[in-house]
Amino acid sequence: MDQILGQVLRNAVWERLDRLTDVANDADAPALISVARSELPRLAEGWRAILRVHEPDERGDCPTCSTRWHKCKAPCSVWQVAHDHLVAGGLAHFQHSRRYRRRRAESTPDETNTSTTPATRPTGRHALIGRPHR
């Protein structure tokens, strides 16, 4: 049940991001201003909430990304992605994405893994392992 609920939650988030991208690309100026005024503060607060849980501890480790056996030094990947998208702009994002996709491809289990049943496997366009960039 948790897997199904998780997939529903993920799909809802991906759909919302898709809608916002569509509005940014297709809306007229008054609609775009209205959406920007309502959504930008929410998105900024969402980033703040995510980044708060990835603030380094007194040892300089990310408490969220670290495990008992592997400590993740700050800045963790969440902070790096935030910087790439919010500060550095497109070029840093492009370079990070290529590195991430290469690393992800090397570590992704093969497709023959049957640990999920057909009923719990994600379906539809949001079932992709890596999101395509628009």
Share of the chain above pLDDT 70, in %: 66
pTM over 0.75: no
| Distance (Å, whole) CA 54 – CA 9 | 21
Q: Each residue of 58-69: pLDDT tens digit?
A: 999 999 999 999
Q: Which pLDDT band, with edges at 50, 70 and 90, does 35 fall under?
A: very high
Q: Each residue of 62-101: pLDDT tens digit?
A: 999 999 999 999 999 999 999 999 998 755 545 555 555 5
Answer for the pair 62, 73: CB distance below 8 angstroms, yes or no: yes
SS3 label, residue 61: strand
| Distance (Å, whole) CA 47 – CA 52 | 9
Residue 2 pLDDT greater than 80, yes or no? yes
**Residue 102: burial class (beta carbons within 10 Å; 0-12, 13-18, 19+):** exposed
Assigned token pair, 133: 């960039």
